[in-house]
Structure 1
Amino acid sequence: MAELSDSKLERQNILNNRLAMKEAEKQFNLSGIEMDGIIYYTRQQVSSFFDVDIRTIERVTEDNRQELEGNDLKMLSGKKLQEFKKNAAEVTDIDVGHKVVNLSVSSFRTLLNYAMLLQNSDQAKAVRNTILDIVIDVMNKQVGGNTKYINQRDEDYIKSAFINENYRKQYTDALNNYLEMGPVKYAVYTDKIYQSIFKERAKEYKKILKLSNNDRVRETMYSEIIDLVSSYESGLADCMKRKYLEKGNQKITPQELNEIIKEFSSMPLWKPLIAKARMKMASRDFVFRNAMHESLEDYIVPIDEGEYERFIGEKSMELNERLDKMQDVFKRLKDR
């Protein structure tokens, strides 16, 4: 992990982790001024907390204003400022001042953002170390320290995996019935799809995620990736069948299938779907699995709060728990 003061991506990934933020706020238990259900801190309080001159806070603010404002830094004036002053008056050790007409205030999230930006504060460094420990502890608590199958905690995973089995069979049947090639074709032409979507062969993917030879790649994929693979397999199965029929029921050659895949994967409709899938996989693995897909490095973006909720929050669930809850659904499907 890069030093937080040097990496906006890593800072934002932590600040968007609502579970970690909530636990950190509980541990630090700082006194501030409440407004609209949120605790805020004045610039003077921030400088005192980090034991730096207020001009240092002002300089950091000007250099990183867009990032800080994206993490709840606010400028109060008018009615909001009057409300804040009224609330502050109830806290005896905080003096906003009667002549102030504009006031910069920080939430706890902003405070942590400052901790990640201040390079010459021992207190800021201590806060950075603490929040990193909290992030690790929260992750371990939610997933038991093993993130290999964190993708399966998503409520969409079961549906995608279930549907994929049908499309996977269509594809392997098409390879068997329409392609003139030995048994190696199943691995070769599965890799072709993986390379089109996320630029990696199955072997390379396993190495990056530190999977064993016995681990099934698709069991570790996010639902969006599985859905896209299913679309590819369904479409290519149909293309192979049509080429086979065009040739008078004669099997196609690997060269012909390579041309089909090249044309199929270059269709404009795939571009936004592939870009989104690459972004999801690269960004999630970077955060949740500490895995870097170097071929997709340009697609890495910060994980938003909804993603944390999806994979480690209240909506997430171990696969066996979700399967237990879905027994009635499966039974109804079986009885049809």
Structure 2
Amino acid sequence: MTKAEKRSLVESKVDRQNILNNSFALAEIEKATGINGIPFENKFVLLKEQVAKFLEIDTRTIENYLQDYKEELYSNGYVVLRGKALVSLKKQLSEMDAPEIDFGSIKKISQLGIFDFRAFLNLAMLVTESERAKLLRQLILDIVIDTINFRAGGGTKYINQRDEDFIHSSFQEGSYRKEFTNALKDCVSAGNFKYPNYTNKIYVSIFKEKAAEYRKILSLATKENLRDTLYSEILDLIASYECGFAAKLREESNAKRRCLTPAEADALFSDFESQPHWKPLIDNARRKMASRDLVFRDALHLQLEEYITPLGREEFERFLGEKSMELAERLKETSDVMKRLKERS
């Protein structure tokens, strides 16, 4: 059972919104459900009566959900038609053969609520009184997982590399990493433990996890490079930490005209990470890492759970869209070249 299944869609607005914002999965779900709606304004829509019939509930139940989850359902495609739009839909309905709809009563009304496919799915993920809604939720979860894996080429561990900014961020971070390790070598009087120690301090400062904890969450093998799995924004922030702290180490070491003791270097880092300018950058990095990993990798960072927010549609396009697929192919073709360049840098 996946983490997504453990978190009930009925209970989790974030999970519902992530599904509704994933246009690639929505297209597959629409195919699988085979729901016949009313063609209207270049899409298919459903009336309450049609939704009630499909979910095997009464319209009063739907009205209750529309009242209790008004903001969510309206923001995801439920709309009340009036005026010319309603006249246009009435004309469309008069030409249809749909026995579950009372056309006589519709002719008399001055407004009418309709569900597009997103709004219909949103409601189906909320309704607890319907066995069909429960089965549909399971189908939705299965399709979402399959779609992400398929579009990511069979696995999502390195889905971060499908972002066009990854290559630049990766090389840039490698350069600043060398500045950081050289500063530790020249300015801190400690053994080789200082390198993983201060690397972990950066990780904990940014995403509240040591390297070992992060590796466990993503199930990384010993030989897999942790930084190869990081999103470009995280790499950029790590590079900023490494560059900035390296400068602080050299400045303090030069002022004292000697290497710093571990205690002095620790105090310097504590002061460095507490600077207020880091907060918005760290908060943004935590939101992106926690939210993306949950959706794309089914990886839950418990330390960052409070930062989880729904991904926007542009995020799905960024990592699953055609442009990202082209980038993945280019990365595959040039992977050997990248490795050689990294070894030389």
Do these two structures clear the TM 0.5 threshold for a shared fold by scoring above it? yes
Instruction: After TM superposition, give the deviation of residue 252 of structure 1 in Å.
Output: 1.1
After superposition, what is the alpha-carbon deviation per residue over 1:236-276, rounded to whole angstroms, capped at 9, x for unaligned?
A: 1111111111012x111111111221111111111111000
Q: State the 1:36 CA deviation.
A: 2.3
Measured after TM superposition, the shift of residue 197 of structure 1 is 0.5
Number of the residue aligned with 2:21: 16
1:105 paired with 2:114, answer yes
Task: Describe the SS at the equivalent of 1:186.
Answer: helix
Query: Over residues 42-61 of structure 1, what are the superposed CA-to-partner deviations in whole Å (9 max), with x where a residue is unaligned?
Result: 11111111111110111111
1:290 alignment partner in structure 2: 298
Kindly report which structure 2 residues correspond to 1:297-312, keeping only aligned pairs within 5 A, or say none.
297-312=305-320
TM-score relative to the length of structure 2: 0.91
Q: 1:215 aligns with which of 219, 224, 238?
A: 224
Q: Which amino acid aligns with 1:92?
A: D
CA distance in 2, matches of 1:168, 1:217: 14
Residues 262-296 of structure 1 deviation map (CA, whole Å, 9 limit, x = unaligned): 11111111111100000000111111111111111
CA distance in 1, matches of 2:70, 2:174: 49
* Structure 2 residue corresponding to 1:76, chosen from 47, 72, 81: 81
RMSD over aligned Cα, in angstroms?
A: 2.0
Distance 1:164 1:318, change over 3 A: farther
1:36-185 alignment runs, 5 A limit:
36-93=41-98, 94=101, 95=103, 97-185=106-194
User: Structure 1 residue 226 and structure 2 residue 231: aligned?
Assistant: no
> What is the number of equivalent residue pairs in this alignment?
329
Identity of aligned residues (%): 48
Structure 1 stretches of at least 4 aligned residues deviating more than 4 Å after TM superposition: 324-327
Q: Contact 1:179/1:254 (CA < 8 Å) preserved in 2?
A: yes
- In 2, Cα distance between the equivalents of 1:320 and 1:50? 40
Q: Which amino acid aligns with 2:296?
A: F
Q: Which runs of 5+ in 1 are unaligned?
A: none
Per the alignment, residue 317 of structure 1 pairs with: 325
More deviation in 96-105 or 200-209? Answer: 96-105
TM-score after normalising by structure 1: 0.93
CA distance in 2, matches of 1:161, 1:319: 15
Deviation per CA, 1:196-222: give whole Å up to 9, x if none.
100111011111111122211101101
Structure 2 SS opposite 1:317: helix
Q: What is the deviation of 1:89?
A: 2.2
- 1:325: Cα distance to partner? 7.6
CA positional deviation for 1:92: 2.7
Task: Tell me the distance in 1 between the aligned counterparts of 2:327 and 2:111.
Answer: 51
Q: Distance in 2 between matches of 1:312 and 1:324?
A: 16
Quote the Cα distance in structure 2 between the aligned partners of 1:309 and 1:242.
Answer: 44
Q: 1:134 is matched by which residue type in structure 2? A: I
The equivalent of 1:251 in structure 2 is 259
The answer (yes or no) to whether the contact 2:15–2:310 under 8 Å persists in 1 is yes
CA contact (8 A) 2:162 2:328 kept: no
Tell me how far apart the structure 2 counterparts of residues 147 and 281 of structure 1 sit (CA, whole Å).
Answer: 14
Distance (whole Å) between structure 2 residues aligned to residue 32 and residue 179 of structure 1: 69
